[in-house]
Amino acid sequence: MLKQYDFAFSSKGIENVHSELAVKIHGMLMHNVPDADAKRMHQNKYHPYSLYCVPAMDGRKIITRISSIHESADIFVEKAAKLDAVNIKGMGIVKITEKGEIFESELSYLADRIKGRRFRLQFITPSVFKVKGNEFGFPDISMHFISVIRRMNEFEGENINFDDFRKALYKCRIDSWQFNSYKYNISGTHIPGMTGYTDILLPEDEDQMMLKKVFIYASFSGTGGRTAMGMGGFFFQEL
C-alpha cells in the first residue's frame, strides 16, 4: 500500500534556516516517531519513505509532502498528519496552516487508471544518483530511476530489470526538456542534483505499463538518493 500526506505552513523566517528545509522537517518528524519504529524503518535495505518541501507559487507558504512505500513507514505519515505545528531551527515553532488527507492506494490500481501516453516527468527537488560510491546530478534520466526500480522490486514484489527499463525509456518520444543543476545543502554538505522536466510519449507496446508503474511509484518513493532528506521529489503529470 502506498500512502501520501501534504501539509503547508508559512515561509516567514525561512531565510534564517541554514540548510535545506526538508532536512529540518525530517529531523523533527523522526523525533515524533518512537525509537523502536525509527529503528525498524532503518533496518530495511532501502528507505521505505520519502519527503520533500517546495514553495507555493506565491512564495508565502511551504508545501511538504510525505510518502510511505511500506507499512513499516506508515507511522511516519500518520504522525505527520497529527501535527498542528512544526519546530524548525531558525524559524521556531510555525503553525501548520493547511492539512490534506492521507491518500492511500495500490500501485496496480493507479497504473490501471491512467490511460494516456503523453506525460511530463517533473523532477521537483534535486535528484542525485550514485555510481561506484560517487554522487552525480547530471541529466541521464534513466539513472535517476535505478533506486525507484530497486524499491519496487523490494517492496512491491516486482521483478523489473534496469536494462529492460532503460531500453523501454529509449523507445519513448521526447518532445521537450529543461534541466538545471542545483547544489543541495544537507547540514553543510552540498550534494549535486538535477531539477527540471521532460515531456515524453510512451510506446504503444507492452513496455508502456511497466514505464507507467515506475513513474507512478517514483511519485511516492522519490527518484535517486537521499529521498528521506528532501531530494528526488518527483511528479508524473498527464498532458
Per-residue pLDDT of the chain in tens (239 residues, 90 and over written 9): 999 999 999 999 888 888 899 999 988 888 877 777 777 666 666 789 999 999 998 888 999 999 999 998 999 899 999 999 999 888 999 999 999 999 999 999 999 999 899 999 999 999 999 998 899 999 899 999 999 999 999 999 999 999 999 999 999 999 999 999 999 999 889 999 999 999 999 999 999 999 999 999 999 999 999 999 999 999 999 99
Whether residue 166 is found in the same domain as residue 94: no
Whether residue 100 is found in the same domain as residue 113: no
Whether residue 190 is found in the same domain as residue 218: yes
Of the residues 59, 79, 104, the one at which a domain ends: 104
Residue with cell 518528524: 29
The whole-model pTM stands at 0.94
Whether residue 196 is found in the same domain as residue 227: yes
Number of domains observed in the structure of the chain = 2
Nearest residue to 136 via CA among 106, 75, 91, 181? 181
Whether residue 88 is found in the same domain as residue 149: no
Sign of the Cα torsion 47, 225, 29, 53 reads negative
Whether residue 95 is found in the same domain as residue 161: no
Whether residue 200 is found in the same domain as residue 176: yes
Q: Which amino acid is it at 117?
A: R
Residue 90: what pLDDT?
87
Residue 45: what pLDDT?
67
Residue 21 CA to residue 52 CA, distance in Å, equals: 9
Identify the domain containing residue 120 by its residue range: 107-238
Bridge partners for 24 per DSSP: none
Tell me how many degrees the CA angle 175-129-19 measures, rounded to the nearest 5. Answer: 105
Whether residue 130 is found in the same domain as residue 190: yes
Q: Is 178 helix (H, G, I), strand (E, B) or coil?
A: strand
Residue 21: what pLDDT?
92
Q: Is 28 helix (H, G, I), strand (E, B) or coil?
A: helix
Of the residues 53, 84, 104, the one at which a domain ends: 104
Residue 34 CA to residue 76 CA, distance in Å, equals: 10
Residue 187: what pLDDT?
87
Whether residue 58 is found in the same domain as residue 147: no
